[in-house]
Amino acid sequence: MRRAALVLAVAAAVLAGCAGGGGGASVSASRIDALVLKDEDVGRLFSLFDEGRQIAPDFTPLRSELRRFGRQDGWKARFRRRGSRTTKGPLVIESRADLFEEQGGAEDDLEAYRAEFDEQVQAGRGSARLVAAPLVGDESVGLRTVQIGTPAVRFYTVAWRQHNVTASVSVNGFRVTMDDAVALARKQERRIERAADEGS
């Protein structure tokens, strides 16, 4: 029932988003590929293994509609490095950005992120729990999950809204923390701000 309620809530927000409202776009659709992390942001130990426009397999259930909330486009970049159980910091990094016609669409999309995180916590998947993350962008939400094992693999995600964009950074590894995710999110935040400045 809870999942059905969340799906209905998101569907209602999609319809509301189609009706308009919110402020004008701050970031241009032509800048979509500049809104995610780049090689120089993650360091020379990491190699890029997936980059480009988001496609259906990249979407999550409550954010699966291509044109949800007036969405215009989305980009992704994924990086990895060699490591072991003793390696400190992320072994895999994922950076995403979704661009909306108006700020209100980004606000609705962050709420969908929040609903998905909450659903994972309620379902008890991978010892999931919401975690407090320092503010990134205009508002943000964080999630930690732990994959059972010895040692356990930890996953941290910070998602945020910034102007007419939603973005997220996810990291995983054996000895990784939310601070690692937030440090990378700050770098992506600066990229989005530069793109907004160029569009103003």
Distance CA 137, CA 133 (A): 11
Query: What are the pLDDT digits (tens) for 115-139?
Result: 999 999 998 877 899 998 889 999 9
Query: What are the pLDDT digits (tens) for 8-25?
Result: 333 333 333 333 333 444
Better-scored residue on pLDDT, 141 or 197: 141
pLDDT (0 to 100) of residue 94? 98
Residues in CB range of 15: below 8 A, 6 or more apart: none
Better-scored residue on pLDDT, 54 or 10: 54
Query: What are the pLDDT digits (tens) for 80-100?
Result: 999 999 999 999 999 999 999
pLDDT (0 to 100) of residue 11? 36
| Direct distance between the N- and C-terminal alpha carbons of the chain, in angstroms, rounded to an integer | 44
Per-residue pLDDT band at 200 (split at 50, 70, 90): low
Q: Is the pLDDT of residue 7 over 70?
A: no
Phi first, then psi: what are they for 74, rounded to 5°? -155, 150
Query: Closest by alpha carbon to 178, among 121, 129, 115?
Result: 129
What the chain holds in terms of domains, given with CATH numbers, is: 2-199 (3.40.1000.70)
Helices (DSSP H) in the chain: which residue ranges?
A: 2-18, 39-42, 103-123, 178-199
Task: Give the global pTM.
Answer: 0.85
Query: Closest by alpha carbon to 140, among 85, 81, 69, 188?
Result: 188
Per-residue pLDDT band at 150 (split at 50, 70, 90): confident
